[in-house]
Structure 1
């Protein structure tokens, strides 16, 4: 049996002709890019939550959870109680992502955050071999662990784990020049997996740790950006594991390949998802086709589809806007149609003006069409 071998954590310096240099420059441009922000904040918030859900399903899928997108979405549409641990696992990751959003904004990336993430992702789950929980939530392991399919042996003692985790968080928060920020994200993700600090749940915790680092580096939702880093890792699990294991050698070329793999995936994902901040793209490619699909599937009737299409066209509308498409109907009839769509949770009133409305596609039958169109436009790397 192999023994644990120390590996120094340090920033690599790519040569001028390395593809990593181009990726760092391009990602730096994306980080500083001002997004159009033409999408209504409430519509954007719904999209963000959908991507949090997809991120959560993807992260659980890597660990062998076979719950499909449609199965999980149906539990939300119908507001069913959590029926099994597979659903609980995905819900835990969703809640942990929401926690990370708030925590990083206030306190940055800390060891306490990592422990809190772990506690949340294993909550109410049975420890192995029955489930994907951990008998010591939020606590570093005090036993040896082995990584399936990897030659690397993680640090063996609780003292070593603590020491390496403290070193990792110092590395993440060290005041290095900004040009190293994205390299540090890739290196820190590998280091976390290399340490494997918990008895179980390291993969899910590590991916949320990566999400937290990206928020810290300025790829945040406050500027109208959606992040879906797990898409990089769950699109091809074997490729992810191969590249991750490669970096275990500590060899410069192997570490460079790992960093290139991560940054290339992030760039492609951010490029793609940034399109959703452009409302004309979102409207034409996702929202309008989703309403058409919902009508075809008889989730809504033709009258409802006309109102929802007007809501999409204007983003925020009032009673008089609907009278334009139903000129023969009186105002009370229009109000009744709007009220019925609100009762179905397909329209919501503006917070500051209860007489203005916007489309709501979260947690109702419309989300089926949204998910279908996101998949059609290659925003979803998961196969059903």
Structure 2
């Protein structure tokens, strides 16, 4: 049966087909070959991450970059320096701005992860919490009267024109969302989790259930779904980096399904994104672990620092360290922490920086790896 496409981009697409889609759209030689490659890459990433004793290193570095990249897709930009500085200071003091939005994304990534640990299934309550954390809004699923359109961006002749209008009407969005969640949660529907994730992401973006933040909420759902299905132990897949680098292809593939039923293009795109970013994250983790071990050996050999393992662990949980990070955790007294950080600066392991009157210590190698 042919996939029912959107007949009029200016009218709500209440005819968005329910899931599951016909098997013929994903049971092709090309898709199955790409699926094998994606599964191999994500399996290797999972195997590497579970043997790392310091999971905080991954949680605070990889997820922060994912938050930055996902926000960039929505044209929310900041520099690495500004982001890391804001994170090291704790974002609670930020009133607004891109750093606050990006750090909200990271918080949503981890709060949602812990929320799902206590849930049997992914539900609308979980999605609402993610949306509220990402956007800072207090509402939920958009109301039937909300005139939501997806419009052409840029400054060309078609700028501002509707390219897609999501479903609208009393109970319609809720029903579409229920069908999507049933599809994702029902293991009796024998579809590989990576294929399910790709199909589910398209459906979520087509439903567009919230007033804002649907892209970011949907990308967090992607990662959490893979964790829920056991493909990852932690939400560390750096998927948004690939989308940023292939942004036009991402939106072209999304529109291809709603306008032409081109599921193969969309599925190929997402599976390639999983393969590429799983490999990228795997090598990034290896680089971080290797340089961390090398720096720890250097500190042991060339200094009389007490508890060098803990010192090294802290400077690798985020790029910018401060004296207070050690004092507040009861690791070192203020004088000792400052002495040790200055010593590492003299050794060119850290770089001492003064920004707005505050003193920071930048882990040069960690910064380099995360910026690649």
TM-score by length of 2: 0.73
Structure 2 counterpart SS, 1:67: coil
Is the 8 Å Cα contact of residues 182 and 263 (structure 1) preserved in structure 2?
Answer: yes
Aligned match of 2:369? 373
Shift of residue 345 of structure 1?
7.0
Aligned match of 1:122? 135
Calculate the aligned-residue CA RMSD, in Å: 3.7
Match of 1:229 among 239, 251, 276: 239
Distance 1:166 1:310, change over 3 A: closer
Shift of residue 206 of structure 1?
1.3
Please show how residues 1-384 of structure 1 align to structure 2 within 5 Å.
Answer: 2-5=10-13, 6-8=15-17, 9-11=19-21, 12-14=23-25, 18-33=29-44, 35-36=47-48, 40-42=52-54, 44-79=55-90, 81-107=93-119, 108-123=121-136, 134=137, 136-142=138-144, 143-149=146-152, 151-176=163-188, 179-221=191-233, 226-249=236-259, 251=261, 254-276=262-284, 278=286, 281-284=287-290, 286-287=291-292, 309-311=294-296, 313=297, 322=300, 324-325=301-302, 334-335=305-306, 344=323, 365-376=361-372
Shift of residue 193 of structure 1?
0.8
Distance 1:16 1:211, change over 3 A: closer
Shift of residue 334 of structure 1?
4.6
Query: 1:201-231 CA distances to partner (integer Å, 9 max, x unpaired)?
Result: 2111111111221212223235xx8312222
Taking the aligned partners of 1:198 and 1:340, their CA distance within structure 2 comes to: 43
Is the 8 Å Cα contact of residues 189 and 210 (structure 1) preserved in structure 2?
Answer: yes
Shift of residue 247 of structure 1?
1.2
Shift of residue 157 of structure 1?
1.3
Distance 1:273 1:370, change over 3 A: same
Shift of residue 241 of structure 1?
1.1
Aligned match of 1:127? none
Shift of residue 137 of structure 1?
2.4
Distance 1:95 1:17, change over 3 A: closer
Aligned match of 2:353? none
Shift of residue 151 of structure 1?
2.4
Question: Which shows bigger deviation, 155-164 or 81-90?
Answer: 81-90
Q: Which runs of 5+ in 2 are unaligned?
A: 1-8, 153-161, 315-321, 331-343, 351-358
Taking the aligned partners of 1:262 and 1:179, their CA distance within structure 2 comes to: 15
Is the 8 Å Cα contact of residues 140 and 158 (structure 1) preserved in structure 2?
Answer: no
Q: Which runs of 5+ in 1 are unaligned?
A: 124-133, 289-308, 315-320, 327-332, 352-358, 377-384
Query: 1:81-139 CA distances to partner (integer Å, 9 max, x unpaired)?
Result: 3153322211211110111221222214211111110111122xxxxxxxxxx4x5233
Is the 8 Å Cα contact of residues 94 and 100 (structure 2) preserved in structure 1?
Answer: yes
